[in-house]
Structures are given as structure tokens and as C-alpha cells.
A and B are shown apart, each in its own frame.
Chain A
Amino acid sequence: MSTFLGMPSLPVFGSGNLHAAESFPKAAHRELGNAQLRANLGHATHTIRDKRLQVVSELPDWEQLRDAGSAIKENVMARLPELLEQFEANFTARGGVIHWARDADEANAIVAGLIRDTGETEVVKVKSMATQEIGLNEYLEEQGIAAFETDLAELIVQLDHDKPSHILVPAIHKNRTQIRDIFLREMPDADPELTDSPAVLAMAARAHLRRKFLTAKVAVSGANFALADSGTLAVVESEGNGRMCLTLPETLITVMGVEKLLPGWRDLEVFMQLLPRSSTGERMNPYTSLWTGVTEGDGPRNVHLVLLDNGRSAALADEMGRSALHCIRCSACMNVCPVYERTGGHAYGSTYPGPIGAILSPLLTGIEAEENSSLPYASSLCGACYDACPVKINIPDILVHLRSKDVDSKRGTKKLPSQMDVGMKAASWALSSGKRLGLVEKGLPLGRLAAGPDKKISKLPGIAAGWTQSRDIPAPPPESFRSWWAREHGNPNDGVVPPQETATQGKEGQA
């Protein structure tokens, strides 16, 4: 157990592609207007939901695996400094080289420097959230280095000069026809007769990337897991592009967030059951590669790992929010989220969309960064994400926690309180006393006048206009329940026990 002796320092937040540039409601409004996007997302998320449910229900011990996964990650967070040092020692002893990066800029510079040292100007890439987060491709391009994405969905997004919208399936917002059109437009070697069958499109990607794989000298990857007790890294994938990148080049540079550690080999048996079933809804993904430093005669001779902070230590400092770092990037939460299903990933701005993004992005950047304060509100708190999460991250509770951080960060800073502030204060006054609520209710029959003969209210001003844009409000009843009860049962204090009994009850309650 590591002990910290100094004063806790202020958290240092992350940078890079972690921000919403416009508020979520605004971005969502635009995305909701795209009928094609809605249809594509609806189809894809429903397909994967059903598959996930089926493979999860096959396992009699799914809940026990979730419990183990959650506890292992909690353990990792509590022992992170010690495990990082242990990992570093093992990885280094087996011929790997570790680099530490405080933030996105530092990580980008390290990777570019390592590539430059090889003399190469082209690299192949395995899909990686960490390199998306730090904006590595854009940075390398500025440095005159071309990075080729090799995962099919990443390739689609890169060819279309678009941004990923999902952490597992970055091109989930595109349907097969749109993908065919992108290939025809952007792939010089594409067959003009290309159909929109997914199998045919996958073959086109194979042909397009084959030469790159066979000639690449440098590859850049992320990592799904890192085992502290051996220095082993793991990449979980489907297409074989990962194996190509991890096996054939001479130099392999992996970028990984510090939270990806697992204590040891035995923990992998838990996560390799949780991850594939939660992400693609398969019993097991087609390929998983594990490597421990450099192996003579097998795979890259130069093996580097960039350990990335970029706000993770800040997220860790938030006691209520730190479990967001347990995330294994499976994407189950976004696949079941009714909000994500309708807006898609771009509305969240950050590399991390969906429910996990709505908590992770503001935790990494701080709640006050750009428009990230709007992200924790992008949820009806329906709880579907928490149920689907393989490591039991209580996303709804963290969303609520971050909302209160947002409200508190704005207290006293504004010249005028918002309508919401005023409304919440007034409601707090009215709803913290039965008497006061009773008085307010006496005024409600006035609402019947507002409602008119059809007994509904169809237009309200201010923030309440959000409600009446698609919903009527029924006319209030002529009398509240409270008032009816007092009339029918006579005693307005019914239920309140005589003083001597109150005292006993009070004591019990406090025991």
C-alpha cells in the first residue's frame, strides 16, 4: 500500500480531444435532425443489444464476473502507484522501454520522436482510444508523418475525413451504402463495381491495406490491458489488423492510459470474459494478442510504451467519480443508452461519447472546461447503462454527482441566477414543509382557469417551454389529496403520534 505524505495538490486536468465545443442540447438538436443518422444508429444499437443480451444470458456466473471485475478495478485504483512501478520494472526487464506523458502534447511529442528515430515517415495504426484522445494522427500529419488507420471502421472515418462517433464502432453512424460511396470516392484502388455488401466492403479494405501491413516498419497501438506482475500488454481485436501491426513491424509504440493496469495474469480470466460479450456481443473476439516486452525472433525488436496521465490523476482525485476510470471501453453503455441512440456520438464532442463519455470527459478535463458541463445532463437517468456495465460503474450516480459539481461551481459567480436556480430555490422552500406545499396547492385550481375548457395547458414560458414543446400539462384537480384527506378524515395531524411516543421513535431512528 502506497502512502502519500505531502499535501494533496490541485488536480491537473487533461487536454486534447476531450471537449464538447458546443453544449450538448445544441449539438443534439442538430444531430436529431438527421433522419439517416437516426435510422443507422437505431438499427445498429438494436442489433448489438440483442446480441449482447444473448451471450450474457448464456453465462451462469455473469454477475459474479462483474463483481470480480469491479473489485479488481477498485483494487487497481487504490494501488495504482505501486502497480505502475511494478509494471514498469517488469516491462523494462523484458526489453521494453517506458515513457511517461503528463498530457496530450507530451505524449504526441514522444511518439513523433520515436518514429523520427526510426527514419520512417509512415506508420500503421491499430484502433486506439488513447491516441484518438490525444489527437495523435493530426499531430503526426503536422510533423510530416502519415498514420494509416487499419481498423475497418477507423479506416472509413479516416477516408471520409470524419470523426469517430462510437468507441467500438467509430463509423456506427454510417450505413453500408454510405460506406460503399466513401470507398468509391476515396480509395484509388477500389473496384468501381463495388457493392454495399459488408463482406465485399471488408474485402476491399483487406486489399487496400495489405501492402501497408507487409511493408510497415513502425506501428502504433493502444492496449486493452497491462499486467503489472509480468509487464504483459494485451490488444483485443477482430479483424487481424491488430495482429498485423503488433507482429510484423520492427518497432511498436503503444500508448496507454495509466488506469488500464490489472494486477496480474489471474485477472485476465475475468476481463477476457467480460469484455467481448459486452462489446461486440460475441463469446470471444476473433483475436487477442499478448506480448511481454521483446521476444527474440517473434515480433517487433523495439517495443515502447507511453504511459498517459492526461487528466486521469484528476479523475482519480474525485472520490465519487474515480470509478469512471474502471471503464474497459466496451461500449455496452452507449449501445443501450436511449440518448446516445438518438443523438449519436458526435453530439458529445469528446472522443468518449455516450453515458461513459458524459462522466469521463468532464472528470478528465474538469467540469468547467468549455461546454463539458452540459454533458452530465445528457441523460434521463434511466439506469440502463449501469445495468449493462461489465464493471458496474454507477454512471447515473456519477452523473448526478457531476451535476452538483456544475451547480456548485456556478454558485455566486453569476450576476443573475438562472431561471433554474430561482425555480429550485423556490421549490426547495415549498417542498420542505407540508404546510407550505398545502398552501401552494390551494392556488393550483387557478391552473384550471389557465387550462380552459379542454383541460390542458399547451404553452408555458421560459425553461418550462421545453416541456410544452411536445407535451400538454393536464389541468390541476379542483382539490389536492392533502386537502381531501383533511376533509374526509378530519384530523390534519393524522399519523403524528402523541409527544411521548415521538420521543421513543426519534431515539430508535437515530440508533
Chain B
Amino acid sequence: MSAREDILGRIRSALSDAPAAPPVPREYRTTSELDEEALILLLVDRLVDYKAQVSVVPAAEVPARVAELLAEARSYVVPAGLDAGWLAAVDDGTSTGRAAGAGTERRRVDAAGAPLGVAELDGIDAVVTASAVAVAETGTIILDGSPNQGRRAISLVPDHHICIVAATDIAGILPEALRRIDGIRPLTMISGPSATSDIELERVEGVHGPRRLDVIISR
């Protein structure tokens, strides 16, 4: 008998008393009924608590804010589908005063047909992505691999993640957010920069994932 048949047989045998499958009471909250202003305030509060840096700006000011946050990055990567307008204010020449490596562009684009290698990504200082949805109550941003967010590796390897969240994409609580996304896409839920509580159960920020998370809430 195959292991599969064997195990399924054991489990069926274990359930020979035919236990009932009870109905699931879903009396927990599934909506939050917060207005946009309240959602933004809550999300900012939670992100700051995780030691993420947050700015709330009108949509028109996103490019300037992105440029500002990238000021110190010698190089940065963006997914091919990122809104080009967000990068309009970024100076990709050498006028930042920092010498980009010879022959390398400051801006690198990761595209489906031409993905960057892991070593290349490791040499890049920052990444700029959009996001699919955010959860105000838990300070969580969800990336779903859409073209404006790119594949999972690009938002992981560079040490500084700049993530743009549209105010209209903020959900109040987790059930609202998860109901807005497609579960079979490769998903990453991000709540602050990488952290650990492994030493004396005290949280410290900054381990293997990006040590710096900048969130720009655009409205």
C-alpha cells in the first residue's frame, strides 16, 4: 500500500466515530466602518509603532517624496510596471554628488523577461514598489506580485524598501483586506521592517529583510 493510501486509511479509521463538522460561527468583525482620514491615522500609528517611517502626501507630491527618500541610495530597483510618474523627480544622473559605479545606471528595472540576478539585487541599495492593499489596524501592507510591485525577491534583498500605499487601498481590518485580494498570487504581508524577538523576547528591528521601511501614503 502506498504511504498516501496508508495515511488516508489511518485517518479515516481514526474518524470512525464520525465526529460532527460544526458550523463555524463568524461573529467576529468583518468591517470596520472607518472613514479615510481615520484609516490613514490608524495605519500611520501602527506603522510608526513598528519603527517604519511614514509620510502622508497628496498624490501630486509622491514623486518629490520618492526622490527625497532615495537621496542617499546609490542605486535602486523598480518593478517594470511601476507608475513612471512616481520616479519623475528622481535624479538618475550623477548630480546627487554620489558616484554611481562606472557603467551602472542608478535606476535598475526588474522585468519579467529580464530579471536581475540575486547578486545584482544584493548590490542595490533600495527598492520602490506599489502595494495591493493595506490593513490599518495591524499596520500591514500586502504585496501581491502585480506588475507595479514586482516579484518577491526585489522587495526583499535591497536593504531599503520604499512602498507607496494609495489611501483608497487602506482597509480597516484584516478580513476586509484579505477579501480584496486574490489568494493564489504569490503574497507577502509586511508589517514594519524585519524584526526579531528571539533574544529575551524583546523586539529589535532589522534582521534579514529590509532594515529600513519607508511608507508613502498617497491621497
Interface residues of A in 280-298 (CB under 8 A from B): 280, 282-292, 295, 297-298
Closest A residue by C-beta to B50: A286
For A83-107 the 0/1 string (1 means CB < 8 A from B) is 0110000000010000111100010
- Give Cα A72 to B188, complex, Å: 24
Check if A284 sits within 8 Å of B191, measured CB to CB.
Answer: yes
Check if A269 sits within 8 Å of B174, measured CB to CB.
Answer: yes
Counted as pairs of residues, one from A and one from B, with CB atoms less than 8 Å apart, the total is 288
| Contacting residues, chain B, for A123 (C-beta < 8 A) | none
Closest B residue by C-beta to A80: B11
Check if B190 sits within 8 Å of A286, measured CB to CB.
Answer: yes
* Chain B, interface residues (CB within 8 Å), range: 35 or more
| Contacting residues, chain A, for B13 (C-beta < 8 A) | 4, 6-9, 313, 317
- Give Cα A460 to B15, complex, Å: 48
- Give Cα A292 to B178, complex, Å: 16
**How many whole Å from B178's CB to the nearest CB in chain A?**
5
Known contacts A8-B13, A286-B190; A202/B199 CB under 8 A: yes
Let me know if A247 is at the binding interface, CB within 8 A: yes
Let me know if A60 is at the binding interface, CB within 8 A: yes
Check if B8 sits within 8 Å of A297, measured CB to CB.
Answer: no
Interface centre among B24, B195, B197 (most CB of A within 10 A): B197
Check if A74 sits within 8 Å of B7, measured CB to CB.
Answer: no
| Contacting residues, chain B, for A85 (C-beta < 8 A) | 8
Known contacts A64-B28, A292-B183, A313-B7; A244/B156 CB under 8 A: yes
Check if B186 sits within 8 Å of A44, measured CB to CB.
Answer: no
Let me know if B135 is at the binding interface, CB within 8 A: yes
Majority secondary structure, B binding face: loop
Let me know if B84 is at the binding interface, CB within 8 A: no
**How many whole Å from A8's CB to the nearest CB in chain B?**
4
For B12-44 the 0/1 string (1 means CB < 8 A from A) is 111111111111111111100000000000000
Closest A residue by C-beta to B138: A284
Q: Which of B3, B202, B208 contacts A241 (CB 8 A)?
A: B208
Q: Which of B24, B145, B194 contacts A75 (CB 8 A)?
A: B24
Let me know if B119 is at the binding interface, CB within 8 A: yes
**How many whole Å from A341's CB to the nearest CB in chain B?**
13
Closest B residue by C-beta to A61: B28
Let me know if B196 is at the binding interface, CB within 8 A: yes
| Contacting residues, chain A, for B156 (C-beta < 8 A) | 240, 243-244, 247-248
Interface centre among B13, B29, B46, B157 (most CB of A within 10 A): B13
Let me know if A195 is at the binding interface, CB within 8 A: no
- Give Cα A9 to B119, complex, Å: 54
Interface centre among B2, B30, B152 (most CB of A within 10 A): B152
Let me know if A33 is at the binding interface, CB within 8 A: no
The stretch of A139-147, A151-159, A385-393 that contacts the partner chain: A151-159
| Further pairs besides A67-B25, A198-B204, A290-B187: 18, Cβ < 8 Å | A2-B12, A44-B201, A61-B28, A75-B21, A81-B15, A169-B198, A202-B199, A202-B206, A206-B208, A258-B7, A266-B178, A285-B191, A286-B191, A287-B189, A291-B186, A298-B186, A316-B14, A319-B19
